[in-house]
Each structure stands twice: as C-alpha cells, then as structure tokens.
Amino acid sequence: MLFEYHNENPVEARVGDCTVRAIAFATDQSWETTYWGICFEGFIQHDMPSANNVWGAYLMSLGFERFVIPNTCPSCYTVKDFCRDNPKGTFVLATGSHVVCAKNGRYFDTWDSGNEVPILYYKRKD
C-alpha cells in the first residue's frame, strides 16, 4: 500500500493545517517551527500563510524546487500515480484544495488522499 497514516499536528488536528503537516514532515521540522516559518513568510509577503505563493516560497527557501504536473491527463493523474512514478525522493504535492507529503514512493496524510489530482509539486534537493 502506498498510503501511510501520519499526523504531524501535535494535538492530532486533522483539518485546516494540511500544508503545515505536509511541509513539517517533508522537512523533518516540528509542526510549530513550520507553522511559524510559513506565517513569517506570509508577513514578509503581506499575504496569508495559506496562499500557495507563501508556503511555496517558504519551501523554496528550504531548498525545494517547484515543478508543474504535465497537462497530458489533467483529471486522471493521481497522488498514487505520482508516488509510483517517483519511488525515491521527498515531495510536497498540491492539489486544488489539499497538500500532501510523499517520500520514497509513499504518501503520508491523515486520510487516504491517493485519488486526489496534484497540479504541482515541490521536490527536496538532496
């Protein structure tokens, strides 16, 4: 199975903080460090921490690179497919409404988001 339950949130919250949870797990940081880092980036940009440009800039400041999923099948390429195609590495995948961490061919989340369709991703430079 490609899915593994993981909740980085210190009080086991399961909604509203998927971006923080995914980035914390991908960067091996605590939830709190990640939360404040994203908030500070939002402060710098005068934008909300949940904005894609804010948390994306935060990831890039930590050495991640941004990529767009090719538009060859915009509604059929899933998180599961991405994991099968990328068996090595650490990634943060963004769908239209969710963010999930994938590491070494598996995705880690509080629910099975494997059928979600990613539109872009960030890859950790090794």
pLDDT in tens, 35-70: 999 999 999 999 999 999 999 999 999 999 999 998
Measure the CA–CA gap between 13 and 72, rounded to whole angstroms.
35
Q: Does position 126 have pLDDT exceeding 80, yes or no?
A: no
Which of 123, 124, 90 is CA-nearest to residue 107? 90
Residue written as token pair 């059929």: 76
pLDDT of residue 112: 97
Using a cut of 0.85, tell me whether the model's pTM lies above it: yes
Split at pLDDT 50, 70, 90, the class of 73 is confident
**Given pLDDT bands bounded at 50, 70 and 90, which one contains residue 31?**
very high
